[in-house]
Amino acid sequence: MKISAPKGTRDILPAEITRWQRVERVFAETCANYGYQEIRVPTFEYTELFERGVGDTTDVVTKEMYTFTDKGGRSLTLRPEGTAGVVRAYIENGMASLPSPVRLFYDITAFRYENVQKGRYREFHQFGAEAFGAEGPAVDAELIHLLQQYFTRLGLKQTSLHINSIGCPVCRASYNDLLRDYLRPYLDTLCETCNVRFEKNPLRVIDCKVERCQAVTKNAPALLDNLCPDCAEHFAGLQQHLKLLGIEPVIDRGIVRGLDYYTRTVFEFVSEHVGTQGTICGGGRYDGLVESIGGQPTPGIGFALGVERLLMELEAQELELPQAPLLPLYLAPLPTTRDATALLCARLRERGIGVATDLIGRSLKAQLKYAAKTATAVIVVGDTEVETGNAKLRNLSDGSETEVNLNDLDTLAELLKK
Ligand code: HAM
């Protein structure tokens, strides 16, 4: 029986890998310019980390986690996102003693049991960054500028930045009362889950995807209009920093984000092209998260960018994406020169040249057909070529030929590197 890939997963084939490599490389370079260093954390963590970190009233934790019990009876979960694991690693490895702010970035796969659709998968990729130890809005602006710079380097246009503030525990508590007062008359209309959210964490009702709940929350009071003075000052400071950097955000009272750890600044980069899944990137501040996972109180902020959605956006904007490169050389042997050609191929590879030769006994005609599809140049290695060393390097795109000496591989290697 044929076995297919699990629903919601995708193979990334060689034909598209150069695009992935490019966005990965430019992301790493951009992060390095801003002083962010790469961190790699485990693919699975103890389930409790996500329950405590991401929040047990979120869709991610209640509905979407891939949780399993291992042979030792421990409950483990494939990470649904990167922040909780990075915070755990920050605490566990004593990174709080490093010069502050500690700036980290990552390139990970994440797993969520979601309804699969365009731009929404069960295994997907995120590029993310987190900064620990800076409380003021300057670091919020730094991360947003980093993202904007990254998009610019990729040539991406038409993504808009939406920002909001969802306050701190102080303003959240009085806002929750206000929101409950607003929602109470609609409890019969709200979905079952939102009735639970109403009690436990009413802010989550605003994030509900059920249409009738969205109709109710459309006119709900916004947290942004009910911030405490400190949070209001922080948000005003962020706007000033963004202005200084020439960044014009859309103030979007509707952004509450789908994860529980956020405080104050939240933001998203949204595109018109990625269908209903228009959010390419989301992030925000999480000043209480380090402490809630067992560390010292430490402010933190970060973002994660959906790589599949980013690539969809690049494609939709018809930006030129690199194609898989061809090999610089194919060596075509005749039946009598197979050993000599195999050795030649090995010697060139040892010099760092990308080269292939026949491994399956193809005819010369079939080899040349193969070479035309996979390489930029070919050398036919016949008996004379082996005896004299004199051979012709044929450029496969324009048919031009260059005399080369197979006994002088350093010169040939230099020529092929050009
Ligand atoms: P998030 O909004 O849940 O935030 O995910 C970030 C991005 O990951 C989304 O904007 C989207 O592009 C992508 N994404 C999420 N789910 C899927 C999916 N099922 N399929 C494809 N792409 C998806 C976080 O994960 C936070 N950890 C971000 C953060 C970092 N906040 C602070 N630091």
What CATH class does 329-417 carry?
alpha beta
The answer to whether residue 279 scores a pLDDT higher than 80 is yes
Confidence band, pLDDT 50/70/90 cuts, at residue 271: confident
- Please compute the mean of the pLDDT values over residues 111-134 and round it to a whole number: 96
Residue located nearest, by CA, to atom 14 of ligand 1:
306
- Please compute the mean of the pLDDT values over residues 138-145 and round it to a whole number: 98
Question: Does ligand 1 come within 6 angstroms of the Cβ of 82?
Answer: yes
Q: Which ligand 1 atom sits nearest the alpha carbon of residue 126?
A: 8
Rounded to two decimals, the pTM is: 0.92
Ramachandran bin of 366, using left for φ above 0, alpha for ψ from -120 to 50, beta for the remaining angles:
alpha
The answer to whether residue 275 scores a pLDDT higher than 60 is no
Residue located nearest, by CA, to atom 29 of ligand 1:
303
Residue 349 Cα, ligand 1 centroid: separation in angstroms? 41
The answer to whether residue 41 scores a pLDDT higher than 80 is yes
Question: Does ligand 1 come within 6 angstroms of the Cβ of 130?
Answer: yes
- Distance between CA atoms of 49 and 14, rounded to whole angstroms? 35
The answer to whether residue 276 scores a pLDDT higher than 60 is no
The answer to whether residue 318 scores a pLDDT higher than 90 is no
Q: Which ligand 1 atom sits nearest the alpha carbon of residue 259?
A: 3
Confidence band, pLDDT 50/70/90 cuts, at residue 56: confident
| pLDDT attached to residue 233 | 98
* Angle between helices 169-183 and 229-244 in degrees, nearest 10: 110
Question: Does ligand 1 come within 6 angstroms of the Cβ of 80?
Answer: no
Residue 269 Cα, ligand 1 centroid: separation in angstroms? 11
| pLDDT attached to residue 1 | 87
| pLDDT attached to residue 274 | 60
Question: Does ligand 1 come within 6 angstroms of the Cβ of 280?
Answer: yes
- Please compute the mean of the pLDDT values over residues 293-310 and round it to a whole number: 97
Task: Find the range with the poorest average confidence among 82-96, 263-277, 354-368.
Answer: 263-277
Confidence band, pLDDT 50/70/90 cuts, at residue 84: very high
| pLDDT attached to residue 398 | 95
Residue 321 Cα, ligand 1 centroid: separation in angstroms? 23
- Please compute the mean of the pLDDT values over residues 292-321 and round it to a whole number: 93
| pLDDT attached to residue 171 | 94
Residue 258 Cα, ligand 1 centroid: separation in angstroms? 9
- Please compute the mean of the pLDDT values over residues 376-397 and round it to a whole number: 97
Question: Does ligand 1 come within 6 angstroms of the Cβ of 137?
Answer: no
Condensed to tens digits (0 to 9), the pLDDT of residues 183-206 reads: 999 999 999 999 999 998 898 899
Any idea where the domains of the chain sit in the sequence? 14-168+228-316, 329-417
Return the CATH number of the domain spanning residue range 14-168+228-316.
3.30.930.10
Q: Which ligand 1 atom sits nearest the alpha carbon of residue 305?
A: 7
- Please compute the mean of the pLDDT values over residues 358-366 and round it to a whole number: 96
Question: Does ligand 1 come within 6 angstroms of the Cβ of 308?
Answer: yes
Question: Does ligand 1 come within 6 angstroms of the Cβ of 282?
Answer: yes
